[in-house]
Structure 1
Amino acid sequence: MSPQIPRPIDPSLHPLVTGNYRIATPAIEAFHELVMRCLRYRIMGALIYGPSRIGKTRAIEYVRLMLARQHPKMTTFHAQCEHKPRHAEGPFFVNLLEAVGDHTPNSGTNPAKRMRLTLRIREAAARAGSSTVLLFCDEAQRYNENEYEWLRDVHDALDRQHIKLFTFLVGQEDLLAQKTALQVAGKTQIVARLMVEEFAFCGIRNAEDVATCLDGYDQTAYPEGSQWSFTRFYVPQAFDAGYRLINDAGVLWQAFEAAHHKASLPGRLEIPMESFARAVEIVLKDSELKDEPAYCPTAALWAYAVQRCGYVQSRHATGRVLVPA
């Protein structure tokens, strides 16, 4: 990193190093809009579905960060649904108790766990000063009908205590099939409470999406309120001379396209946020020592970053086929 330009913080503390940051893709922004719409119209449940490893967990984290900024009195929880060989009531409530911060989630009988869950949610809402609580259930396709019924019971118990619980079921495409199966089976009470809205989540699908995401690095400042955008922190001389990552949106998209075709991956290109972010991080970190007013990353560096970001490897690992739209 160029020593002649002092940075406002120790570089080792920067979010790009710690990984503690989230950049919005168009799909993540649409997810956030869905959540806000549900809150506005009091729609208590929605399902968000998409392929595995496409960035849904990162999207939950981003939406929760935005809600904490925009609506600091609202309480949000993130439950990671676990794979269970047996769908028992005890493990289901233990998982939710862990999500809401209970210190002894395994203690007590199942009815006691259920009561303690509603108590913990009510306490959190009281501390925050709002009766609105949002629960994001990640990998929700792992739930079965009984677990949806137990979740509905939690809704009803909280409703009697004047707490509004909004549930967002986030998972793979199986979620949509589950909704259909519940409708066919006449389980309308589950669908009407937990699955009213639905949203198909996707990765980064074109050069315009790439530009939107790169603009996030150009605009997001750290420390907040400073003039130090993520891009400027790593290449301040180039940035001050006019360079922006968004300028390279087409180059980066083409690099991913080339990697996709070279690896003979099926379906159309759809970049997961994790792979995308890693590629951008590689370019910024490899650019910092080359920084000068005339500097801009080469197409070869972008290609190298795509090679090292894990996109091809993760697609091979999941064996996932993306159906052309």
Structure 2
Amino acid sequence: MSLQIPRPIDPSLHPLATGNYRIATPAIEAFYELVVRCLRYRIMGALIYGPSRIGKTRAIEYVRLLLARDHPRMTTYHAQCEHKPRHAEGPFFANLLEAVGDPDPNGGSNPSKRMRLSLRIREAAARAGSSTVLLFCDEAQRFDDNEYEWLRDVHDALDRQQIKLFTFLVGQQELLAQKNAMQLAGKTQIVARLMVEELAFYGIRNAGDVAICLHGYDQTAYPEGSLWSFTRFYIPQAFDAGYRLATDADVLWQTFEAAHHKASLPGRLEIPMESFVRAVEIVLKDSELRDQPGYCPESALWEHAVRHSGYVQSRHATGRVLVSAG
């Protein structure tokens, strides 16, 4: 049995056990290409919008990892836009100060918060050795017009100090409506600075997308540089005998499709990353006890995994558009 086969690390520390890993999807690759294009053409702002729970927050984290690998001198930040009953300047700057690692984000007057924000970003850019800084604002549809103006002020202040701030507004479909409303209202200075490019973010749309994601589990090694891919870590005998998760891409897609139709859910199937990842984790963890040469998960196990992935439950709970954090 595979549990007797020694692993390179304690299984409880594996990223799949801790949930501390990210899988690339076609939508994430499109997101990263957008970021790289903005950097290349000096486009200072873009918006990325899509239904909730589709994987946008995970995508930000993945894109930041790719940037750290490909552009190690650039500074990146991930700000979580909070739901606020009133849109005051103090909480807005405190939120950004927290994102840039200020030790006392709520301290001081509003003007001092503004100055400290510029200072923290300038210090980080100097340490990194690059004047390019990227800010990802998650759940950005929560911003109002004043907050967009304050964000533009931050751009201007940094620009005067020779620091280029690229802002990526990530959120739900309302973001696009906000952009259109600003254009109609003639607030072109905000659109021209923060919302030039746009990208519709999406979930997993077909068996080909499923295969790309499953291939990530088959290829990604942990510890890095070892021969232990995520799939092999859980079912080493099956893996060494040639089994790959990606070969079950059609089975997994069809299983989600069957669940979608059986629950009479509207619209075409688009699997949120959260549900997809949970289904794959269930299959790997449950397969561990059954591992042997020639093993491959039965269709009943994939059905069990999809049933417990939360896909149908979350869609039923929230209707057509999934509502909650990224």
- If the TM-score is normalised by the length of the shorter chain, which range does it land in? over 0.9
Residue equivalent to 2:280? 280
Q: Deviations over 1:168-187 (max 9, x none)?
A: 00000000010011111111
Measure the CA separation in 2 of the matches of 1:20 and 1:129.
Answer: 29
TM-score, with normalisation over the residues of structure 2?
A: 0.97
TM-score, with normalisation over the residues of structure 1?
A: 0.97
Please report how far the alpha carbon of residue 3 of structure 1 lies from its aligned counterpart in structure 2 after TM superposition: 3.8
Structure 1, unpaired ranges of 5+: none
Measure the CA separation in 2 of the matches of 1:176 and 1:98.
Answer: 26
Please report how far the alpha carbon of residue 321 of structure 1 lies from its aligned counterpart in structure 2 after TM superposition: 4.5
What's the % identity of the aligned pairs? 86
Residue equivalent to 1:266? 266
Measure the CA separation in 1 of the matches of 2:104 and 2:257.
Answer: 49
Task: Report how many aligned residue pairs link the two structures.
Answer: 322
Measure the CA separation in 2 of the matches of 1:149 and 1:13.
Answer: 44
Measure the CA separation in 2 of the matches of 1:43 and 1:315.
Answer: 36
Residue equivalent to 1:201? 201
The higher-RCO structure (CA 8 Å, 6+ apart) is 2
Counterpart residue type for residue 117 of structure 1: L
Counterpart residue type for residue 290 of structure 1: R
Please report how far the alpha carbon of residue 80 of structure 1 lies from its aligned counterpart in structure 2 after TM superposition: 0.4
Measure the CA separation in 2 of the matches of 1:98 and 1:34.
Answer: 26
Residue equivalent to 1:147? 147
Residue equivalent to 1:30? 30
**2:97 touches 2:117 (CA, 8 Å); kept in 1?**
yes
**1:125 touches 1:132 (CA, 8 Å); kept in 2?**
yes
Measure the CA separation in 2 of the matches of 1:96 and 1:301.
Answer: 45
**1:77 touches 1:99 (CA, 8 Å); kept in 2?**
yes
Counterpart residue type for residue 34 of structure 1: L
Measure the CA separation in 2 of the matches of 1:126 and 1:156.
Answer: 18
Residue equivalent to 1:170? 170
**2:208 touches 2:249 (CA, 8 Å); kept in 1?**
yes
**1:45 touches 1:196 (CA, 8 Å); kept in 2?**
yes
Measure the CA separation in 1 of the matches of 2:316 and 2:57.
Answer: 20
1:75 and 2:63 equivalent?
no
Measure the CA separation in 1 of the matches of 2:263 and 2:272.
Answer: 16
Please report how far the alpha carbon of residue 266 of structure 1 lies from its aligned counterpart in structure 2 after TM superposition: 0.9
Residue equivalent to 1:122? 122
**2:238 touches 2:296 (CA, 8 Å); kept in 1?**
yes
Please report how far the alpha carbon of residue 71 of structure 1 lies from its aligned counterpart in structure 2 after TM superposition: 1.2
Please report how far the alpha carbon of residue 68 of structure 1 lies from its aligned counterpart in structure 2 after TM superposition: 1.0
Counterpart residue type for residue 273 of structure 1: M
Q: Which runs of 4+ in 1 moved over 4 A?
A: none
Structure 2, unpaired ranges of 5+: none
Measure the CA separation in 2 of the matches of 1:81 and 1:248.
Answer: 38
Q: CA-atom RMSD, angstroms?
A: 1.0
Residue equivalent to 2:101? 101
